């Protein structure tokens, strides 16, 4: 009954309590869709530098999500890692939006097999 940062670091615990299994399944599905799309963007880059940059940005987003879920489930100690795209604003939201904007730019310059789907 006590969450130290319910609106920030433990937002997934609040979401699980309020929306249950279906809500968590939808959120995890949306994150899986985002990371699958990031993978497609990475593989569509011709330039190796762009591919590594897209991979690094995806790794930042994915590790943030995994670390936050590990803290919420009690597997890892609280580190202060907010959930990307969901936690209360601040510098993390700004950094996440910059990362997503860069990935969108990379999706514009990706090979044509990405744009067909």
Q: Is 100 exposed, middle or buried (0-12, 13-18, 19+ CB in 10 A)?
A: middle
Q: How large is the average pLDDT for residues 55-74?
A: 93
| Residue entry with tokens 């910059």 | 98
- The pTM for the full model equals 0.84
Reply yes or no on whether the pLDDT at 116 is more than 60: no
Does 79 or 93 have the greater pLDDT score?
Answer: 93
What separation, in Å, do the N-terminal and C-terminal C-alpha atoms of the chain show? 45
Q: Where are the domains of the chain?
A: 11-112
pLDDT in tens, 10-41: 888 888 888 999 999 999 999 999 999 999 99
Q: How many CA atoms lie within 13 A of 89 on its CB side?
A: 0
Q: At what angle do helices 48-73 and 11-43 cross, to 10 degrees?
A: 160
């Amino acid at each position: 009954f006590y969450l130290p940062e319910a609106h920030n670091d433990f937002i997934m615990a609040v979401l699980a309590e309020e929306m249950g299994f279906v809500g968590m399944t939808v959120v995890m599905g949306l994150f899986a869709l985002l990371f699958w799309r990031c993978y497609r963007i990475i593989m569509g880059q011709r330039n190796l530098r762009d591919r590594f940059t897209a991979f690094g940005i995806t790794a930042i987003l994915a590790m943030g999500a995994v670390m936050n879920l590990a803290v919420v489930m009690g597997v890892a100690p609280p580190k202060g890692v907010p959930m990307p795209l969901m936690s209360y604003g601040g510098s993390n939201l700004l950094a996440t939006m910059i990362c997503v904007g860069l990935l969108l730019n990379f999706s514009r310059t990706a090979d044509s097999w990405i744009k067909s789907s």
